[in-house]
């Protein structure tokens, strides 16, 4: 087992433990993703990057049906009746398809032909559909998909094209030399010089405009932010944040385009490289500004999944900018960025899977200093693990609803604590019934704790 496979296995084991302890959807998704990567690295030990591992798993998954039918045909003796039957089925496939197509054409074009054949064909189709529904029930389809998935994870069925293609890639960027006959004059650097001048002009303009944006953000967002009357915080954070993120990603794409080939090795590219590093630093400052915008929104409206996702995404963007700066400075390839940032994605997902975000969100929002702007509808949209917290703080939720009801603009579905309490009781009764009917296969420590706390609260209210 390679070191990469061991790292993925350790992360997968950690996420699997989190399923038992926390039982969150994110821990399940992370475990399945890491299982797929671990399978790819075990089947193709030479794979070095996460994107290549994912591509290998998908390729293997597609090859499972083909491998199944080839093995099925190969297991039948050459001169047996079954092999002859398969040959006849293969020969009859095209005529049958053609017959069906022409039948539907003639049926649509000729009403009398349709009346003549409708009864027989409809009875045949009803019987055929009935057979298919019995063969491909929900349970049967689940078993079939599970078999295909297990085959893709256990058996090496796909060709080694992805591993071979990745083997040719390197972290270091290579200079492409054009060989000319010795009696010919060497090629001019005019084309590279023009590209360098255009790139320098672009970076100067972009650095200048981004400097203005960063100075405004540092003065306004970092240190002097005040929520004024009539100011749209939603536009400020939602639209503003995603537009700034798009600008950062666009900047990274332009940088990859600019430093893609021999311009990295130009003898006069030092100032171009410095201007690029300055642009990367400024984009990192812009990324911090986006994070502070998100923090202002959390400080006003509380925590939510999208706001947490923005923070995780910005961490990945900062790592991407750091690796992009290293690429420009040390003349690394685009494959280097894919490889390093793929592993960074795995690390971030693994860390995120270790927390029960539903409980963290509810605990933060229940103690939020701005009760009038908390989305109380979201409480009942979270998992059952937050039910004890909500029962213990029904008065806080009622206070937040009351405060929100005094706002000029009401954006929650209900401001009635009685309606909230009824919904909470329905959720609690449903959870208790489900938990009592469950067995060890669906056991998690978090839900066991939730059940015990709810049982204790029920006994206290009797």
Q: What is the pTM of this model?
A: 0.78
pLDDT at 230: 57
Residue that is written with structure tokens 């998954």 in the block: 61
Q: Rounded distance, CA 11 to CA 346, Å?
A: 8
Tens digits of residue pLDDT in 410-452: 778 888 889 999 999 999 999 999 998 888 888 889 999 999 9
Domain ranges of the chain: 3-167, 191-332, 358-461
- Averaged pLDDT score across all residues of the chain: 80
| pLDDT tens by residue, 263-303 | 666 667 788 888 888 988 998 998 898 888 888 888 888 88
What residue spans of 353-413 are helical by DSSP H? 357-366, 387-392, 394-405
Q: What are phi and psi of 332, to 5 degrees?
A: -95, 165
**Comparing C-alpha atoms, which of 323, 299, 28, 46 is closest to residue 166?**
46
Radius of gyration from C-alpha coordinates of the chain = 31
Over the stretch 71-117, which tens digit does the pLDDT of each residue have?
555 554 555 555 555 566 666 667 777 777 777 787 777 777 777 76
**pLDDT score, position 427:** 92
The answer to whether 346 and 8 are in contact (CB under 8 A) is: yes
Q: DSSP state, 306?
A: H
Residue 332, helix vs strand vs coil: strand
Q: How many CA atoms lie within 13 A of 1 on its CB side?
A: 10
Q: How far apart are CA 423 and CA 395, in angstroms?
A: 15
pLDDT of residue 71: 58
> pLDDT per residue over 383-400, tens digit each?
999 999 999 899 999 998
């Amino acid at each position: 087992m390679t070191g990469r496979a061991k790292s993925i296995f350790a992360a997968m084991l950690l996420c699997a433990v989190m399923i038992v302890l926390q039982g969150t959807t994110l821990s399940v998704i992370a475990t399945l993703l890491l299982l797929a990567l671990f399978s790819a690295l075990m089947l193709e030990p030479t794979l070095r990057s996460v994107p290549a591992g994912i591509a290998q798993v998908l390729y293997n998954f597609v090859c499972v049906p083909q491998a199944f039918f080839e093995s099925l045909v190969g297991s039948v003796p050459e001169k047996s009746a079954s092999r002859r039957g398969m040959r006849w089925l293969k020969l009859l496939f095209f005529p049958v398809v053609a017959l069906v197509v022409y039948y539907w054409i003639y049926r649509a074009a000729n009403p009398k032909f349709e009346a003549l054949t409708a009864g027989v064909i409809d009875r045949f189709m009803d019987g055929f559909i009935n057979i298919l529904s019995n063969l491909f029930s929900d349970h049967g389809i689940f078993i079939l998909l599970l078999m295909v998935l297990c085959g893709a994870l256990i058996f090496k069925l796909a060709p080694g094209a992805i591993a071979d293609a990745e083997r040719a890639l390197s972290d270091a960027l290579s200079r492409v030399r054009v060989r000319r006959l010795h009696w010919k004059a060497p090629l001019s650097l005019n084309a590279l010089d023009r590209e360098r001048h255009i790139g320098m002009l672009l970076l100067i303009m972009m650095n200048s405009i981004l400097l203005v944006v960063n100075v405004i953000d540092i003065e306004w967002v970092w240190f002097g932010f005040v929520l004024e009357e009539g100011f749209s915080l939603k536009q400020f954070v939602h639209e503003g944040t995603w537009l700034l993120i798009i600008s950062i990603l666009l900047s990274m794409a332009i940088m990859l385009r600019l430093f893609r080939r021999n311009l990295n090795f130009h003898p006069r590219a030092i100032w171009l490289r410095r201007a690029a590093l300055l642009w990367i630093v400024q984009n990192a400052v812009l990324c911090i500004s986006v994070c502070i915008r998100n923090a202002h929104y959390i400080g006003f409206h509380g925590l939510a999944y999208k706001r947490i996702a923005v923070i995780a995404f910005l961490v990945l963007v900062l790592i991407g900018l750091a690796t992009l700066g290293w690429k420009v400075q040390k003349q690394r390839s685009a494959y280097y960025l894919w490889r390093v940032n793929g592993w960074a994605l795995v690390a971030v997902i693994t860390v995120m899977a270790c927390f029960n975000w539903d409980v963290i969100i509810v605990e933060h929002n229940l103690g939020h200093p701005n009760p009038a702007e908390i989305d109380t509808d979201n409480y009942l949209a979270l998992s059952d693990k937050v039910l004890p917290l909500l029962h213990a703080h029904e008065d806080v939720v009622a206070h937040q609803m009351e405060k929100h009801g005094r706002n000029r603009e009401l954006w929650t579905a209900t401001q009635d604590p009685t309606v909230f309490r009824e919904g909470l009781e329905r959720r609690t009764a449903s959870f208790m019934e489900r938990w009592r009917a469950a067995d060890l296969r669906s056991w998690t420590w978090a839900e066991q704790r939730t059940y015990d706390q709810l049982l204790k609260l029920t006994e206290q209210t009797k």
